[in-house]
Structure 1
Amino acid sequence: MSARPYRLGYNTNGFAHHRLEDALAIIAELGYRAVALTPDANHLPPDRTSAADLRAVRSLLERLDLAVVVETGARYVLDPRRKHRPTLLERDPADRARRLDFLVRCAEIASELGGDCVSFWSGIPAPGVSRDEAWSWLVDGVAEVCRRVEPLGVRPAFEPEPGMLAESLADWAALRDAVSSPALGLVLDVGHVPCTESITAGDAIRRHGAELRTLHLDDSRGGVHEHLQIGEGELDWPDIARALREVGFTGVAAFELSRHSHAAPDAARVAIERFLAADRH
């Protein structure tokens, strides 16, 4: 089997109970070549992380030979009482601005760490907000993200998320066309595909390969969005691995198993072992 052109990574949201430096060391020890770093209350909190902190983490990443992408899905980093809020879809412009500033700050973190990609999603419309209103705010917000992030040398990437305003690949295409920014790319979570699409995860990769900035790896069963361990759902992992090679993907494909943080080292080991076994088929 020839060397894969992309790097396998693991999301730090799956190491929620570890210090960041310990999580990075374990991820590297297990054979990963990248990390999807989620700034959170316990890992580079965006409002309390200094330039010196970022230099130290960048130095560690370089010593461990870990490429980095930055994720923005921390549950309570902006509001300790409301999961994933505020979003770009809030009625109050000040709340929308808070999310926008957070996304730009995460892009700054990515740049300081030597990364070139920051990913984000739409969120759920606030109560009383119509879909048309929410969609208009999303388009405007994503366009502003692109405008403010591109000068940093960081590529913004959008993730369709089941249950959110933009949840499907059709929603992604509509948003891409409405924003019309060459900077904007796609984040595809293979575990989301059975929840929102009529095609396989492998075929979703093939169809959107040219747009992929980064990839999330997790399993699913019965069209339910629950981020299962690799091999514990219904996804065809050998086909996913083949599809990544076929499209020439060169980014970071990171396992996203936040619900496995209680057993993070074992979960990360099992994930990479099972994926590599599938890739040999």
Structure 2
Amino acid sequence: MSDLLNGKVVLVTGASSGIGASAARVFSREGATVVLAARREGRLASLVEELTQKGAQASYVVCDVTVAEDAARAVAFTVDTYGRLDAAFNNAGLGGDRTPLHLMGDDVYDAVMDTNVRGVWNCLRHEIAAMLTNASGGAIVNNSSVGGLVAIPAAAPYIAAKHAVVGLTRAAADEYAQQGIRVNAVAPGTTRSEITADWFGRNPGLEEMVNSMTPQGRTAEPEEIANAAAWLLSDRSPFLTGTVLPVDGGFLNQ
């Protein structure tokens, strides 16, 4: 166990799989007490059991981030259980379909925007309110994407949503800097997860094509994104706020 997040109480959304589950493992290994939030209770319970067996402090709350009351309840549970909320990783997200814009259905647009934008909005409001009661403020990391900084074909709602996450990050960072709350974002490149596995499964050759566009020539492991988020949430990045950190194997350098 390290001490990057030692003593901090951290809420992780979308924690039942992928980057969120890896974040729960990384944050707890770095000394944090973690509260895991997601919709799939069975997976959350299993992950909490795994972490507590390793000596970590961990608990979970079932939460759909698209529902404001659920986001409020997740934050309230954290504060009621551990006395405060020091940090949060707003990771819950939805990829949607890879379909040309003119063929994209309203249902896909609504689902992607609801999860990726409204979900972050709901969480930010309640996390910030809780952190304003801390003498030392707090730190938040939102999970955007390289798609929040550039365009990717046949994914218009996803691109729009992840750009919006960048906007929310910068707006909140500016608004609450004086109160000691830092708000940053990670912008992962292609990362191994259920979302990308689904995309790759439905689009043969897509992973090879994306990897060929990445200087490091590979797909990221979710732990690599979680490590970057842990650093941004830690006291070792005290003068960083409003930053969008690409974790993309050099994709945006081209």
- Under a length normalisation based on structure 1, what TM-score does the superposition of the two structures give? 0.37
* More helix, by proportion: 2
